[in-house]
């Protein structure tokens, strides 16, 4: 069992809680008080971790998490990220140079209001900075006690090999769901098994497409989910997968999202669930289903 993340179960993802018209991610309106209560509900329901990032509303999600933490004596491990830097014109760039990593992490620590961040992950690869330099910068922050451990987000197996040669990789995260199964074939899931590193699955419900009652037409006209490939080129496959999930959910007397999350947990992945209300958070943190062989949805 990983000493930071613990047993395989769901964690809370805060990208939707950081939704902001000012960018960079817009999921529609998100009430601030409801967002704080969602974090508290997830922790109370036994979330394995809280995953956030400066990129989520350019600090909004981290401030929400920090506000929640100030209301409770103890909490689940807090994971944030570094390396995606906002430019003055509102665009962003990947910069994992040592100076940028340090500045990013210290700013996150202030927004979260903690003395030490449990885990900091490099958000995305930076083609201009060797992973070894970025990893050395994170290892320095670990040694200083600013960070508890370090992880990687959206890095391929080759980059993960190079990082772990410098220092420990505590967590890895990639997109993984019934509609996005690349980790099964691109080597990232196998790498985590080989190195005994927890695999965190972001967008485990395909940005809502695998939840009950999801209605693309009801989304805000500028909601980012309207541009996802599930909504365009792969429309038939989502319908087929959702129908299969609904069949399993009916037999199990539960929801399609519960089945989809349990499917990931059965494969050893920790789903990062982007709940937006306290009830959604509590529902996401339910114990995984004991799925039988016939409950598993086919790969195609």
Residue 192 burial by Cβ neighbours in a 10 Å radius (0-12, 13-18, 19+): buried
141 contacts 105 by C-beta, under 8 angstroms: yes
Q: What are phi and psi of 117, to 5 degrees?
A: -85, 130
Is the Cα torsion angle 139, 145, 146, 147 positive or negative in sign? Answer: positive
What does the alpha-carbon distance between residue 51 and residue 127 come to, in Å, rounded to a whole number? 24
Residue 200 burial by Cβ neighbours in a 10 Å radius (0-12, 13-18, 19+): buried
Structure-token pair, residue 52: 């956030």
- Tokens 């519960």, located at residue: 258
**Catalytic annotation on 176?**
no
Q: Which entry of 26, 27, 55, 56 is annotated as an active-site residue?
A: 56
The DSSP H or E segment spanning 271 is strand 269-273
Tell me whether the omega of the peptide bond preceding residue 24 falls within 30 degrees of 0, making it cis.
Answer: yes
Q: What is the DSSP string of 31-99?
A: -HHHHHHHHHHHHHTT-S-EE--TTTTTTHHHHHHHHHHTTSS--SPEEEEE-EEE-TTS-EEE---HH
CA-nearest of 202, 203, 172 to 189 is 172
Could you tell me where the beta strands, DSSP code E, fall in 107-254? 117-122, 147-153, 171-175, 199-202
The total of other beta-carbon atoms located within 10 Å of residue 144's CB is 10
Go through 41-59 and write b for each residue having 16 or more CB atoms within 10 A of its CB, e for each that does not. bbbebebbbbbbbbbbbbb
Catalytic residue annotation = 56
């Amino acid at each position: 069992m990983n000493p930071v993340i613990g047993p395989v179960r769901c964690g809370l993802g805060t990208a939707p809680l950081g939704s902001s018209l000012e960018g960079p991610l817009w999921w529609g309106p998100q009430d601030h008080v409801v967002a704080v209560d969602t974090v508290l509900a997830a922790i109370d329901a036994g979330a394995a971790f809280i995953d956030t990032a400066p990129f989520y509303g350019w600090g909004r999600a981290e401030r929400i998490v920090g506000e929640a933490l100030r209301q409770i004596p103890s909490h689940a491990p807090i994971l944030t990220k570094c390396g995606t830097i906002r430019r003055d014109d509102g665009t962003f760039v990947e910069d994992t140079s040592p100076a940028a990593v340090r500045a990013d992490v210290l700013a996150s620590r202030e927004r979260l209001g903690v003395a030490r961040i449990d885990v900091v992950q490099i958000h995305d690869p930076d083609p201009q900075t060797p992973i070894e330099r970025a990893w050395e910068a994170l290892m320095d922050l670990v040694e200083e006690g600013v960070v508890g451990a370090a992880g990687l987000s959206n890095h391929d197996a080759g980059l993960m090999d190079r990082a772990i040669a410098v220092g420990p990789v505590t967590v890895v995260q990639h997109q993984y769901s019934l509609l996005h199964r690349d980790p099964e074939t691109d080597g990232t899931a196998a790498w985590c098994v080989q190195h005994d590193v927890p695999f965190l699955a972001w967008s485990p419900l395909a940005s809502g497409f695998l939840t009950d009652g999801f209605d693309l037409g009801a989304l805000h006209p500028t909601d980012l989910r309207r541009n996802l490939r599930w909504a365009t080129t792969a429309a038939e496959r989502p319908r087929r997968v959702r129908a299969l999930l609904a069949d399993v959910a009916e037999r199990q007397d539960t929801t399609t999202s519960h089945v989809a999350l349990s499917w990931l947990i059965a494969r050893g992945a920790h789903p990062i669930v982007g709940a937006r209300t306290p009830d959604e958070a509590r529902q996401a943190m339910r114990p995984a289903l004991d799925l039988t062989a016939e409950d598993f949805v086919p790969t195609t």
